Amino acid sequence: MLVTYLEASRDLCETDSILFGAALAVCRIIGAKLLMAGRATTQSNAIPAWRKRIEDRIAKARALIGRLTSFRSGNNRPRIMRTVRMAFAGTNISLSQPDITQKLTERIDDLKQKIAAWGKRIRRFSEGSRRFNQNRLFQSDQKRLYKLLERPKVCVAGQGPDQADTIAFWRGLWSEPVNHNEGPWMEVVASQGASVTPMDPVTITPEDVAEAGKGKYLLTVNHKSVLLVVYR
């Protein structure tokens, strides 16, 4: 039955549809599970718990940096003093010692380094998660992935450049003489490529498709698509 449809096929697209239909019919007969396009697992927009914990740490560290900086500038309010004492709790540092300004600077720099490390960790995990989701979407729905990768069109409001000015700009740019660096290696590459014999054009005729359709068929089901392989 399949050979009859293949002989009546008029182009490669129709042949592809026939083979896909045959493969789909075989999968339904044998009960194979197929991952159809458009049924990919949707990515949740919720913030992961690990990222929320790190963002909370960053927010607390930034707030602490602000209060330490305020205390270093001379703000001695009770709330600021209490926060500074908590920041140096468990250490031998006293707020009345002479080098407290240096200790404050070291503590602020330490917090800034931690914030940078936490931010880098978020970016690293986010990039890995993005690649994982894109790979999974590529396996299930390539068309949707390509649409997501397309950049949005930016519409610029206002009047466009004058046509005469545009022509004058490009004419002046292309009319200026330029001395290119014609290295000797370019001649060597050109001479090596001249001896390469071009490949003969390949033409697939309806007879070739019909002849291939007379063979046996091997159904292959993988994570991406259903493939009907013809073998002798």
Instruction: Give the pLDDT score at 14.
Output: 83
CA distance 205 to 12: 10
Region 171-179 average pLDDT: 81
Q: Residue 157 burial by CB count (10 A; 0-12/13-18/19+): exposed, middle or buried? A: exposed
pTM of structure: 0.44
Contact 93, 122 (CB under 8 A): no
Summarize pLDDT for 97-127 with one digit per residue, the tens: 888 888 888 889 999 999 999 999 999 998 9
Tell whether the model's pLDDT for residue 166 goes beyond 70: yes
Q: What's the number of domains the chain is made of?
A: 1
Whether 39 is covered by a domain: the verdict is: no
pLDDT tens across 40-58, in order? 444 556 788 888 999 999 9
Question: Does some domain include residue 128?
Answer: yes
Q: What values do phi and psi take at 171, rounded to 5?
A: -65, -40
For residue range 132-157, list pLDDT tens digits in order: 989 998 988 888 888 888 876 666 66
Residue 120 placed within a domain: yes
Q: Between these two residues, 230 and 213, which has the higher pLDDT value?
A: 213
d(CA 210, CA 215): 9
For residue 152, give both structure tokens. 């949005």
Where in the sequence is the domain holding 128, given as residue range(s)? 49-140
Residue 73 lies in a domain: yes
98 occurs within a structural domain = yes
d(CA 110, CA 118): 12
Domain-located, residue 55: yes
Q: Is residue 178 one of the residues assigned to a domain?
A: no
Q: Is residue 60 part of a domain?
A: yes
